[in-house]
Amino acid sequence: MSRCGDVYENKVTGEYAVILRGTEDRGQGPGIAHLTARPGAAVVGEHFHPNLTERFTVLRGRLDACIAGKTLSLGLGQSATVEAGVAHDWWNSSKTEEAHVLVEVDRAPGADNVDPNRFELLIGMLFGLANAGKVDRKGRPSSLQAAVIAREFADVIVFTHPPPSIQRVALGILAPLGHLLGYRAIDPDYCKPHGHVTPAPEILARAGLTAG
């Protein structure tokens, strides 16, 4: 689905990600992307990954995050690792400066049966919906579309709001209705990369990779 240099962009949330190790060239290691979080950018909402670990390393600017209820402000060279099942959120609070972040995503220990490439498939779907104008100003799809996605990708991501007990009831009602009305969790037109660039050699080096 993606190789080094492929791009995913969310024009609503302000996220711009250049793949450094994608689904077609990651081998046995983590998927890696160079994320540019534009001023005011924020991920779509607090969530956790049941079977994945995620590591953020700031290359330029600052990235604010809330991990397991603790708020952090990461500066140049600082990193944070989010283990599977740990609730987290992140945003760029600067009004003028971009945050450049190396993001690494891999299977959690013991999650050998999970396909980590589905994380990228989810990102492509959410970004594609945003760019098509099918989300609100915070990047959130409609309730029916969100329910269909949440059920399909429950192995990859779980949002913390509303509470899980309410989500289970809501998904049991909304997801089948969404499918009935034609909403899809995976749309190939949305999930594919949105462009291709040549990653900067210094960014590849920071990720432990080489050009070519």
The string of pLDDT tens digits covering residues 121-141 is 999 999 999 999 999 999 999
Q: Does the pLDDT value for residue 211 go beyond 80? A: no
CB of 34 closer than 8 Å to CB of 65? no
Q: Which residues of 145-167 are buried (b: 16+ CB within 10 A; e: fewer)?
A: bbbbbbbbbebbbbbeeeeeeeb
Averaged over 159-173, what is the pLDDT? Answer: 90
160 residue type, one letter: T
Q: Is the pLDDT of residue 61 over 90?
A: yes
The pLDDT of residue 55? 98
pLDDT digits (tens, 9 = 90+) for 37-60: 999 999 999 999 999 999 999 999
> Mean pLDDT across the stretch 160-177?
91
**Whole-angstrom distance, CA of residue 161 vs CA of residue 146:** 12
32 neighbors 206 (Cβ within 8 angstroms): no
Evaluate whether 126 touches 38 at the Cβ level (below 8 Å): no
Q: How far apart are CA 194 and CA 167, in angstroms?
A: 31
Looking at the chain, the whole-number percentage of residues with pLDDT higher than 90 is 89
Model confidence at 194: pLDDT above 80: yes
Residue of higher predicted confidence among 210 and 100: 100
pLDDT value at 28 more than 90: no
Q: Which pLDDT score, from 0 to 100, does residue 53 have?
A: 97
pLDDT beyond 80 at 212? no
SS3 103: strand
pLDDT at residue number 3: 93
Confidence of residue 183 (pLDDT cuts 50, 70, 90): very high
Domains of the chain, with CATH numbers? 6-206 (2.60.120.10)
- Whole-number pLDDT of residue 162: 86
